[in-house]
Amino acid sequence: MSKRSDEVQIIVSKAFGPNGDNLVGLSEVTFDGFPAITIKVIVFGGAEGVVHLSPIHGDSRKMGLVDIEPGTICMLFCPVSGVALERVEDIDDAFGAGYYALYRTAALSKSSMIMISDVWGHYHSRVIDDFELIAAWGELDDDLDT
């Protein structure tokens, strides 16, 4: 089920891993015609694989390795370089989650990031531009439904 609103949408057209690899359009997977953002996920003591995320900010749809128990802490990696995504901020909630960085430009600046949670089913994310928060999702939605 998608958690999208009918208001203004932010579509992520570029997302770069920690070595500057573009993670948008790595596969044929699309959401509403927009190419997916692909990351590698490793579950502690379990499965690993790629997950294709919707590039529509606030849309919980994903494909690939998705049979993960909600609430599971995951390790997040660039699927191209294999380098771990950088933890940039703790999420102040009961889940112990952290925000991990995907960069909006190849310059890999912290001034322009997409920040995603490392807890499966914990739909918290932020989009930062010029050090300003331009979109946040999940701040009031702390349940772990899928």
Element (H, E) at 42: strand 37-43
Query: Using one digit for the tens of pLDDT, what is the confidence trace for 41-89?
Result: 999 878 999 999 999 888 889 999 999 998 899 999 999 999 999 999 8
125 pairs with which residues across the strands? 116, 137
100 pairs with which residues across the strands? 87, 116
- What value does the mean pLDDT of the chain take? 84
Of all residues in the chain, the percent with pLDDT exceeding 70 is 81
* Calpha distance 74→134 (Å, rounded): 26
129 pairs with which residues across the strands? 112, 132
Tell me, what's the pLDDT at 134?
57
Residue 59 C-beta-side C-alpha neighbours within 13 Å:
22
Res 15 pLDDT > 90: yes
